[in-house]
Structure 1
Amino acid sequence: MKTFTTVSSLLLLGASTITAAPVTAAPSEFDITSFSANTLPHGTGAFISFNIAIPGTTVNTTCAYSDQSSVSALPSVSLRPCNDASVEWQFKQDPSRPGTEGQYRVVVTYAYDAPKKVAGYHEWPATDFPLKDFGSTFETFYTGAPDFVVTNLS
């Protein structure tokens, strides 16, 4: 009986010193600000950039892309990290259907709590990315709201 009491006491003592690692909940939204996208008038190049803050976290970072090869149309941007590598993003225009232009879409992912990731997206009609006439060239400029919230996270 003495042995059982001693072992039980040690197990209880050990159990009281064990602490559980905090579980981080997935965020419910991404707050996007200062979204801009355009091609370079009278030249070659494209620029896409925005800031992202994730409520309930310390994440507040910038995501940006530029090239010197795009002419008139914004390029598809493959998944790439933002300044804070826990956030990644991509940008593309969906294929057009007969009689329409495809929508534009930005997808954002956030890695939290070790290997867990959450992702969401925002879509715009092609009319938010009109071609502007600069005389000898046409360039694409984003004309929609620069600030929006992504809430369709999964």
Structure 2
Amino acid sequence: KFDDDDDVVVDERPQLVIDFDGKSERPMEVALSRQSIEWSDIDTRGEKYKMGSGLFYEQPDGNVHSSSGVLSLAVGGKKPVRNSMKRNLFYLVTSGQVEVELHGSKFTVGVLGQFLVPAFNSYSITNVGTHPAQMYYVHISVPEAEEVEESDSDTS
């Protein structure tokens, strides 16, 4: 359990980093304190949960390549069935116990356990514990098939 005394001062100002082209520099937000997480209450088909926006990486064309955040489920709460689409989804359970349904499989994950939802898979997450569950997540877009073919031919 975290107390406010556990917090450190986080410098959230944009920092200078190497850009997507691997050459030029640009300022980018690379650190975020837990107080700066923007929470949204989600109510989809009667299933209620909270999503906290974290950091993201925007490509030059404006598309978000990867993002992170926090998912919070009340006891018995559920993130309803969704498709991961063109993203690999990585989750780390930071509190509670969750049951994951992934493409017909079902498994339980506890504190500091991790799970992966590969691109193009349907999944849902249910809090099966006796306390609220919280997960840290990272979503990463997968390249289009054409991009993969191009990058494969570049390395041969």
Larger radius of gyration: 1
User: Scaled by the length of structure 1, what TM-score is found?
Assistant: 0.26
Query: If the length of structure 2 is used for normalisation, what is the TM-score?
Result: 0.26
Higher RCO structure, 1 or 2 (CA under 8 Å, sep 6+): 1
If each structure's strand is expressed as a fraction of its own residues, which one has the higher value?
2
